[in-house]
Structure 1
Amino acid sequence: MEEQPNGYVSELESELIQLLEVVVLPEESEIHEQCIYKVPQLIRQNNPQAYTPRFISIGPFHSPHGSIIDNNNLYEMEELKLKYLKGFLNRTNLSVNDLVFKVQEWENKIRNCYAGLVSFDSKDFLKIIIVDACFIIEHFLRYISYKDWMETDPILLQSWLLDEIEHDLILVENQLPFFVLEEIYKLANINLELPSFITITVNYFHGLNLQNINPERLCPKHFTDLIRIFLLPSSFDCVKEEFGNIIGHVYSVSQLSEAGLVFEVTESECLLDWKFDKGVFKIPCLEIDDSTETYMRNIMAFEECHYPYQDSAYISQYFTILDYLINTEKDVSILTDKKIIVNLMGDANEVATMVNNLCKNISMPRFNSKYVSLCHGLNGFYENPRNKYKAIFVHEYFNTPWKIASTITAVLLVLFTLIQAVCSIWSLVK
């Protein structure tokens, strides 16, 4: 390779120095504050719609301000946000100056919560945060006073739109830091007349709070984190050990069933409360509908980004094991018959496909010790010689209606032949 002229080298050196002058390395504290992420492309490509707001953008990642977004719904909702902002100011007697002054103090802290490029300047960024935060607070306040607003509020008037707003508010890319909402709520002194903002928030998402977790002890980072917290048990054995590939394989529901394992549904409202003892596998009920995939994908994407060592990726652990257990629609049908899965999607094959696709391109989590013990127990049950040969026998001779019919026919034929032989011998002897 020919040497470049010295002038070229000097020019390159000067250009690199200028570029590096504007580069600011993040401090460790700033990295720890990150909690709102853009979903990695490798995960997003499995189902882009599951991570993209359909009707309302919250925060800078999907804001239509200063960007080209091919979604008229997001633009139309911007006007509605301003109406809610005005309603919030009228309700609280706060001034725009009060909001701007206070939120400006938190700007760096808010920016540090976003892991990814936020290209808006200070003015536009603060405008997005203020408008979106006040919209959410006012929307939640109207929801908690539903009877007073049900005939006048443009969102509460249309139940389908209310569902769409709730859908968009749980997306991991479509978040505001929870502390911003809480501090603005406190600034308005609304908490003197109404419950705390976390209580109002939990009331809004009550349909997802199956365990009826007490809101006053919750400290979510944002709404996606809150929905994840709803799924976690109040106490969980968080032993952090590197288990590597110990759980490399778990037998499917149909295989375990053929081996004689009994599946039972438990009354526990916590999805993670799986128990296996003496050939009985007790599993909490999992209700699956059209929105389940979106909720779970966003929670798992949050875990993937926020827990890089996967120690606390409990929902990812849950669905990884469920992915092992469910391979076909037959596995889903068995769990549905046992009331362990409530299939509101109708098609068992569609449920199996959803479960199998949820973990695609998600890092293999490091499993909690309870799950490791559970999976070893299930595998040990199947691999017990007596159970294993029973499973092989059931699979070979009783796996389908045709096999059952042919097996019974063969058994009857042998039985009749035996009876005929005995009768013939008996007649000869007599």
Structure 2
Amino acid sequence: MAGAETTSARDNRLNELLISIQSRFEGLSPPSNCCIFTVPEKLRQTNKEAYPPSVVAIGPYHRLNPNLMQMEDHKLLYLQNFLQHNQNYCLKDYIQRVMSWEDDAWKCYDKQIDLDFNQFTKMILLDSIFMIQLFLMYSDPQRRLPSNWIFSRPWMFMDVRDNMILLENQIPFFVIQRLFEMAFGTHWQHTPELLELVCCFFKPFMRMEMLPESVTESEVTHFIHAISLTFLSSVRKAPNESNEESKLTPSAMELVAAGVKLRRRESKCLFDIEFENGVLNIPCLTLEDTTESYFRNIMASNSYLTDYMDFMHHLVDIPGDVELLINKGIIENWLSNKEAVARVINALADYYFYSLSDKLIKHCQKPHNKWKATFKRDYCSSPWVVNSVIAAEVDFTDYSTDRVLSPLSCITFAF
């Protein structure tokens, strides 16, 4: 039959396709091993400056950025200093040890790495020792180099530390841990444990001074993961599963209008939000210039914080909501103004808090609370009324008679 494919041509095409697919198997690893991710483009577009490093590349993703090359020589100086003060092993010993871990380390990254194995091993060793030295020098200034380029410039140190908590700028924690144990495990009795050094170094970003006691070094995957664990309580609860559509929590002003009392909860766990007996208890959220960037990087790999920011986004609807939460100590504002607070919270919102939102909504939908929408529309547009509500935060219902008090009569109680 004219134009028909011959058996030989079909076999050749089969072999080509077979080789093409089999070649793609090389370098693949089970998804469960992957813990260091590139940020999805959808998230990156919302704030392109929040994810790439500015002064130092850690790991392979930004290794070839020419603007970050200056720090590479500094890493060599740190390695040299490390070897001079840890003479139980030589450079060859550390290289051999890292080479034995490189397959496991390679599998921790979510995309193809444009390095050969020698380049990858060198990168892992230099970056890991660089960070170990930073931790040690930060905790003990006597360890610092005479002309220390990083610690002699406060702005440089802060930039380096900020870069080390970017999701795309990570080294697998197990490599740093094993190198640290290799150097100090049996020879330096007075050296703090690695997690203790990590918590001290990243203290401005952590909710607790130390990780929960239940967390072991073997559980930590990278620095972003370590920081995110301090947002969780020591007893880590599973999120409430729900097949329902996401419920929209009423705003702070709407909740107060419906008789909900807002209180700051003294808890180190950001997610310890409770609503009981008409009182919504919320731990303090501190907002600084760096908050948006490091929250974004945590949110890219942690759904708990994403759900929390979505909850806070619904609490903050109008300027009066921000002022109310600040006055109650629920938000601690170190940003330029109150408008910046609303911008950051709303920018981070995209539900672990399904049941909490449901309880708040049901409270606001009770017959004696239904006027809250009218209250917001008719009265919250006036600054003096907002201030009165903040000052008073009285119960808007006489529960002894189940009599609904009018918004204006409630405001009168403020004076």
Shift of 1:204: 1.1
Instruction: Name the CA distance, whole Å, in 1 between partners of 2:298 and 2:314.
Output: 20
Matched, 1:105 2:87: no
Among 178, 182, 185, the residue aligned to 1:187: 182
Residue equivalent to 1:428: none
Q: Is the deviation greater in 198-207 or in 141-150?
A: 141-150
Residue equivalent to 2:81: 87
**Contact map agreement 2:51 2:297 (CA 8 A) in 1:** yes
Residue equivalent to 1:337: 327
Shift of 1:252: 1.3
Residue equivalent to 2:208: 211
Matched, 1:76 2:77: no
Shift of 1:184: 0.7
Instruction: Name the CA distance, whole Å, in 2 between partners of 1:160 and 1:379.
Output: 46
1:310-349 pair list within 5 angstroms: 313-349=303-339
Instruction: Name the CA distance, whole Å, in 2 between partners of 1:240 and 1:385.
Output: 28
3-state SS in 1 of match to 2:280? strand
3-state SS in 2 of match to 1:346? coil
Q: Deviations over 1:44-64 (max 9, x none)?
A: 111121111111000111112
Matched letter for residue 392 of structure 1: T
Instruction: Name the CA distance, whole Å, in 2 between partners of 1:233 and 1:324.
Output: 23
1:5-20 pair list within 5 angstroms: 12-20=13-21
**Contact map agreement 2:251 2:315 (CA 8 A) in 1:** yes
3-state SS in 2 of match to 1:22? helix
Among 145, 154, 157, the residue aligned to 2:152: 157
Q: Deviations over 1:299-335 (max 9, x none)?
A: 11012xxxxxxxxx22122112112222233321221
Residue equivalent to 1:426: none
Shift of 1:27: 7.3
3-state SS in 2 of match to 1:115? coil
| C-alpha RMSD over aligned residues | 2.6
Instruction: Name the CA distance, whole Å, in 2 between partners of 1:44 and 1:199.
Output: 32
Matched letter for residue 199 of structure 1: E
Matched, 1:199 2:183: no
3-state SS in 2 of match to 1:83? helix
| Structure 2 unaligned spans of 5+ | 387-407, 409-415
Aligned residue pairs, count: 379
TM-score (norm 2): 0.84
Shift of 1:103: 0.6
Matched letter for residue 38 of structure 1: T
**Contact map agreement 1:328 1:349 (CA 8 A) in 2:** no
Instruction: Name the CA distance, whole Å, in 2 between partners of 1:328 and 1:151.
Output: 52
Instruction: Name the CA distance, whole Å, in 1 between partners of 2:42 and 2:105.
Output: 27
**Contact map agreement 2:299 2:306 (CA 8 A) in 1:** yes
Instruction: Name the CA distance, whole Å, in 2 between partners of 1:191 and 1:317.
Output: 43
**Contact map agreement 2:240 2:355 (CA 8 A) in 1:** no
**Contact map agreement 2:247 2:354 (CA 8 A) in 1:** no
Shift of 1:78: 0.7
Shift of 1:257: 2.2
Shift of 1:207: 2.4
Instruction: Name the CA distance, whole Å, in 2 between partners of 1:389 and 1:154.
Output: 62
1:190-269 pair list within 5 angstroms: 191-214=188-211, 217-219=215-217, 220-238=220-238, 241=241, 243-269=242-268
Residue equivalent to 2:35: 35
Among 130, 134, 144, the residue aligned to 1:135: 130
The verdict on how the C-alpha distance between 1:152 and 1:259 changes in structure 2, with shifts beyond 3 A counting, is same
TM-score (norm 1): 0.81
Instruction: Name the CA distance, whole Å, in 2 between partners of 1:350 and 1:214.
Output: 30
Matched, 1:351 2:341: yes
Matched letter for residue 330 of structure 1: G
Structure of higher RCO (CA pairs closer than 8 Å, 6+ residues apart): 1
3-state SS in 1 of match to 2:246? coil
**Contact map agreement 2:199 2:209 (CA 8 A) in 1:** no
The verdict on how the C-alpha distance between 1:267 and 1:3 changes in structure 2, with shifts beyond 3 A counting, is farther
**Contact map agreement 1:169 1:223 (CA 8 A) in 2:** yes
Shift of 1:160: 1.0
**Contact map agreement 2:79 2:130 (CA 8 A) in 1:** yes
Instruction: Name the CA distance, whole Å, in 2 between partners of 1:375 and 1:156.
Output: 46
Of all paired residues, the percent bearing the same amino acid is 30
The verdict on how the C-alpha distance between 1:151 and 1:261 changes in structure 2, with shifts beyond 3 A counting, is farther
| Structure 1 unaligned spans of 5+ | 304-312, 405-410, 412-430
Q: Is the deviation greater in 346-355 or in 212-221?
A: 212-221
